[in-house]
Structure 1
Amino acid sequence: MADPVELAPDYYLSNFHSLVDFVVSRYGKLLSQEEQCFYQTFRQLQPDSQRLYVRLLSRKGVPSSIGALFRQHRLTYTEIGDLPAAVDELASAHLLCRDPALPLDEVLPLFTKSELLNHSLEPLPKALKRPALEQALLEQDRATIQQRLMEEPLLAVQAAQCFDTFKLLFFGNLNQDLTDYVLRDLGLFRYETYPLERAQLPFQTRVQIEQHLRYYQCLRDAEEALGADANAINTLATQLPAGIDGDNTLQRRLDRLRLTLARQLERFDALEDAEQLYRQCQRPPARERRARIAVARGDTDIGLSLCREILANPYNEAERTFAENFAHRTAKKTDAAHQWPAPRRHSPITETVALAQSGARVELLAAAHLAQTAPESQCHYVENTLFNGVLGLAIWDIVFAPIPGAFFNPFQVAPSDFRTADFYSQRSDAFARRLSEFESGQLAHWVWRHFHAKQGVANPLVHWEALSEPLIRRALERIPTDHWLAIFHRLLGDITHHRSGLPDLILFPGSGGYELVEVKGPGDRLQQNQQRWLAYFAKHQIPHRVLHVEWQP
């Protein structure tokens, strides 16, 4: 990790420049005339005006129909030498609207409860709750109240929608902000370098940009629709963008929103509408919900047919497990029970030990106990860090390969599709070649190559602080190649769900070999993802057990 540095007072302005310049240099031809004008106007401002605009654009403010609202007298920034002059220039450039003509109900949230009481035209109880206070003021002479409140300048930020486009093109979403730059500048993150040429960037057309922006508008509208009724949800569903062939990121987002809308339709008992929305989704749990809806409506055959469809081509292991369990429970009530036997359950070797409670983590106490059970044994608390980390090191170059659409900007810890099924499919040939190299004995080569070359660089699979060189060396020596490969195959098959649930400890007995140990403290039970890992270990003859810890009296 790089040594932390002290940031300049206006560090945020340099970061803003980097962001908008990056977008213009790579997406200039896809920007609208309004967005290009926004960029040129901003770049021609005096430094103080630029600083103030970025400050206000980055703050939440009070929402209004024409932009986030601020009270000028409340703005104090030591790095801005002449704030009134900056306001004047921003107003002239139409990047701020001074004293906007707004209805009183949009202005009231700018002021404290005490201030509102002082501006009331008639005495009001101090104990009045805020909503009741605002309502009481709205019932008075609105023009007089508004005149009193607006004796000081109010400012509304303009052109924020233009910056939304810049943020979308830079981050790939509207959820991130310039904090990523700050983390870099403070030395908290070192990012991998990867090509960001125009042909490899995720956005290729203006239509694509418009559809992503439309999705985020629908996402904002969803909160109100979800709290209303089925009609509001159905109306919003018709307003979703159609999607674009090849834009898997947009399709994933649309699926996620449709799933949320459909689930709420279920709660409103609008099952037919929910089922229709689920049919438009390509990802889990759409088929699961359709099967549940069918059985709830008495269509058992349709529910079981959907389970067969899932088992014939499961999206992931969790979906397959659902189909097995749900079909078995459903079929028990029909003549088809014999066609759906109960899924087999793995019962891992389990041991119970009594340890003295000391305040330390139960996993660390268990590790110390196991290390003492045999001469020269070592036991490490690794949980999800060891196997994920070794895999991350061994495939580092593949993770950061220049796949079209994978990287939006220079500050990504992972490619944009990392937590999706597309992560493996988009790189399947490279993964197949690398796993073949592991089979021929080159795992250690790739691990050490990246361990030394990438030390401290951010990687979504590598937790550097948990990966000491001696631990990795011993693990590579003791764990057979076929065990590494089995675990890697499962991780890569569904990296989102499978990179958690791995056993807490790895035991290296003095006599050789290794064993994975899942520790459960008093009252703790195995989670489903842990059970699935243990069953997988049994299938591949990977040594494992569960250690239940009880506290000594």
Structure 2
Amino acid sequence: MGEPVELAPDYYLSNFRALVDFVVARYEGLLSDRERRFYHDFRALELNSQRLYVRLLSRKGVPSSRGALFRLGKLNYVEIENLPLAAEQLVTADLLQRDPALALEEMLPLFSKAELQACSPVPLPKALKRPALELALLELHDEAPALRNALAAGETLLAVQAAEHFETFKLCFFGNLNQDLTDYVLRDLGMYRYENYPLDRKNLPFQSRAQIDRHLRYYDCLELLDGALEAGPEEILALAEQLPEVSDGDATLHRRLDRLRLTLARQLERLEALDAADRLYRACARPPARERRARIAVTRGDIDTGLALCGEILAAPHNEAEQVFAESFGYRTAKKAKQLGGWQPPERCKPPTETVVLPPAPDRVELLAAAYLELGSPSAEPDPFPHQCFYVENTLFNGVLGLYVWDILFSPVPGAFFNPFQVAPSDFRTGDFFLQRRVAFEQRLAELDVEHLARRVWRHYRQKYGVANPLVAWEALPEPLLQLALERIPADHWHRLFRRLLSDIGHHRNGLPDLILFPSSGGYELVEVKGPGDRLQQNQQRWLAYFARHQIPHRVLHVEWQQP
């Protein structure tokens, strides 16, 4: 561990300025007049006013129709000198509003329960809980002006202005409105080192103002999601109508809108508004839209449509999970309807299985199984070169892939990188990840042999150690494990494993076996460990079936506890 990193008291201001400067440098032509004015007004402020504004903008405050509310007398920041003067300059710059006109219900949350009790024009029971107290005060209609005056006496209330403009800056920088300046803090603390990928203008995600506005509109709709889901079908459909149109080439917004429509449609299904749900699913280009439509059709007794949708999936599946669904659901539906035709029962994977009885211990069952496998057969002669077994789960093959395709992963694909603090390209967990880089990936896979793989992997291991990569868990890739894996696993096995991982990285990077065993005699074997009562998950079953099809050595080891 290195020395603890001590951040400057106003580290947040440096990070904020870096963010807005980054956006203006790359997107100034796409910003509105008000957004540009917001930037220049902020930059013209004295240092303490900048600090105060960023502090308040980063805090939640009390929401109101005038902006997030704060009490000046309750603010205390040791790094801000003359806080009232800093606030006054922000008021002059229209970045704060002093003592805005507020409804009483907007003022009450600013004050403590004791303060509300003290300012009440009439005595109220002290046992009242906060919500009941506020309700009782709001019901004193005739006394409302006196209460408002009593609360405001000696107080300066501040409402943050122009926060909506910063939303545009955040969107342009992060690509979403869910992140915040924490990423800078993690970098400054040394918790993350990021790859130095290019951020040239031609590859930036936003290329027009209309595109930015459509993303902002999407987030406006997302704010309404919970309310619509609770309200019912009419509100759900009304929200669906408000979703923005998508221009060609904006894969990010396509994905986001598909996820939102899938959520809306699934709730319509639960509410038995099946026609409306089906219409929304038709507007979705990604799984599981076709699966849900097939289920809806069969639920309504339209077997032909349900089977036709399963056939459509099998002809062009978006991913393996969708294909597995179509095979299983199509066969079961056809069998039940006595329309089997060409439908065949799905193949069932029966992996090689062994059951062992071990004494119970506090260690993880996978580590106990690894120790058992390293001992080999109890009846065998002592081996001067013992078996070696490592607990790897999803880290080994993902990690080697991440090292092998490092340069492709961080290549300047249009729209992949919004800012310098991304662990992965924005499309990493989507079906677009492989498609956008297909030519480069296919060429790299075609070049794969043992020597080429080892050379690239070791080069990136030495050059990039500690740099964030979504596939590489550095602490789980010790050199002895990596050395054995690159020596023992044949090139055609690496090729098969990499191809399946890349075909649907979002789903396939999970479910890999727990252990890799390197027998003393050579070769390797993948071992999935199941403790008492544990069962294979679907993604694990799909990996085991893939191993069987491609002669990749594997087995399932069931562990039972030795009875006392």
Scaled by the length of structure 2, what TM-score is found? 0.96
Aligned to 2:504: 494
- 8 Å Cα contact 1:441/1:481 also seen in 2: no
**2:450 touches 2:491 (CA, 8 Å); kept in 1?**
no
| Cross-structure match for 2:11 | 11
> C-alpha offsets along residues 6-49 of structure 1, whole Å, 9 cap, x if unaligned?
11000111111110000001101110000000000000101111
Aligned to 1:453: 463
State the shift of 1:551 in Å.
1.7
Aligned to 1:136: 136
For residue 339 of structure 1, give the secondary structure of its aligned residue in structure 2.
coil
2:420 counterpart residue number: 410
Distance in 1 separating the partners of 2:151 and 2:296:
54
Could you tell me how far 1:219 is from its partner in structure 2? 0.4
Instruction: Spell out the pairing of 1:344-383 with structure 2 (5 A cutoff).
Output: 344-373=347-376, 375=383, 376-383=386-393
Aligned residue in 2 for 1:239:
242
Local SS of the residue matching 2:264: helix
Aligned to 2:219: 216
Deviation, 1:487, is 0.6
SS of structure 2 residue aligned to 1:332: helix
2:398 corresponds to: 388
Q: Does 1:153 pair with 2:162?
A: no
For residues 95-114 of structure 1, give each alpha carbon's deviation from its aligned partner in whole angstroms, at most 9, with x where no partner exists. Answer: 11111111111222222333
Cα distance in 2 for partners of 1:488, 1:362 equals: 28
Contact 1:420 1:496 in 2 (8 A): yes
Code of the residue aligned with 1:524 in structure 2: it is D
Residue from 430, 434, 437 that aligns with 1:427:
437
Say if 2:99 is the partner of 1:84.
no
Asked whether the equivalents of residues 3 and 187 of structure 1 are also in contact (C-alpha less than 8 Å), the reply is no
Among 286, 289, 298, the alignment partner of 1:283 is 286
Question: Structure 1 residue 309 and structure 2 residue 312: aligned?
Answer: yes
- SS of corresponding position for 1:242: coil
**Alignment of structure 1 residues 184-263 onto 2, 5 Å:** 184-263=187-266
Shift of 1:120: 2.3
Residue matched to 2:57:
57
What per-residue deviation string (whole Å, max 9, x for no partner) do you get for residues 506-537 of structure 1?
00011111100011111111111111101110
Aligned residue among 462, 466, 483 for 2:476: 466
Aligned-residue offset at 1:125: 2.8
More divergent stretch after superposition (229-238 vs 500-509): 229-238
For residues 35-74 of structure 1, the aligned pairs below 5 Å read 35-74=35-74
Q: Find out whether 1:331 has 2:341 as its counterpart.
A: no
| Larger deviation, residues 325-334 vs 511-520 | 325-334
Query: Which amino acid letter does the alignment assign opposite residue 150 of structure 2?
Result: R
Confirm or deny: 8 A CA contact 2:204 2:414 kept in the other structure.
yes
* Aligned equivalent of 2:542: 532
**1:438 aligns to what SS in structure 2?**
coil
**1:402-456 superposed Cα distances (whole Å, 9 cap, x missing partner):** 1111111111100111111111111111001111111474111111111111111
Query: Could you tell me how far 1:359 is from its partner in structure 2?
Result: 1.1
Query: 1:523/1:119 Cα in 2 relative to 1: closer, same or farther (>3 Å)?
Result: farther
2:321 alignment partner in structure 1: 318
Contact 2:450 2:490 in 1 (8 A): no
Match in the other structure for 2:269: 266
Q: Shift in Å at residue 66 of structure 1? A: 2.1
Task: Tell me how far apart the structure 1 counterparts of residues 97 and 546 of structure 2 sit (CA, whole Å).
Answer: 62
Letter in 2 for 1:101: A
Tell me if structure 2 keeps the 8 A contact 1:2–1:190.
no
| Shift of residue 132, structure 1, vs aligned partner | 2.4
TM-superposed deviation, 1:153: 1.6
Q: Residue 167 of structure 1 contacts residue 174 of structure 1 at CA under 8 Å; is this kept in 2?
A: yes
| Map of 1:516 onto structure 2 | 526
Give the conservation status (yes or no) of the 8 Å contact 1:95–1:158: yes
1:113 is aligned to: 113
Three-state SS of the structure 2 residue aligned to 1:156 is strand
The alignment partner of 1:533 has SS state of helix
- TM-score of the pair, normalised by structure 1: 0.98
1:549 match: secondary structure: strand
Measure the CA separation in 1 of the matches of 2:554 and 2:112: 61
In 2: Cα distance, 1:3 partner to 1:190 partner: 16
Once residues 527 and 301 of structure 2 are traced to their aligned partners in structure 1, the CA distance between those partners, rounded to angstroms, is 44
Q: Alpha-carbon deviations, 1:242-292, whole Å to 9, x = none?
A: 011100000000101111111111122211111111111100111111111
Deviations 1:458-487 (A, max 9, x none): 000000001011111100111111111111
For 1:167 and 1:5, the matched residues in 2 are separated by 26
Give, as a single letter, the amino acid of the residue that structure 1 aligns with 2:375: Q
Partners of 1:425 and 1:4 in 2: CA distance: 43
Moved more, 522-531 or 355-364: 355-364
Q: Once superposed, what is the RMSD of the aligned Cα atoms?
A: 1.3
* Mapped partners of 2:5, 2:428: distance in 1: 31
What are the ranges of 5 or more consecutive residues in structure 1 without an aligned counterpart? none
Give the stretch that moved more between structures: 218-227 or 115-124: 115-124
Report if aligned partners of 1:2, 1:187 keep a CA contact under 8 Å in 2: no
Amino acid at match of 1:174: L
C-alpha displacement of 1:81 = 1.2
Counterpart code for 1:291: A
Amino acid at match of 1:15: N
- Give the unaligned 5+ runs of structure 2: 378-382
Match of 1:104 in 2: 104
Secondary structure at 2:559 match in 1: strand
Matched with 2:380 is none
Q: Any idea what SS the aligned residue of 1:307 has?
A: helix
Amino acid at match of 1:112: S
The answer to which of 515-524 and 179-188 deviates more is 515-524
Structure 1 runs, 4 residues or longer, greater than 6 Å off: none
Deviations 1:313-357 (A, max 9, x none): 111011111111111221122131343222111011111112222
d(CA) in 2 for partners of 1:143, 1:332: 74
| Equivalent-residue separation in structure 2 for 1:479 and 1:319 (angstroms) | 30
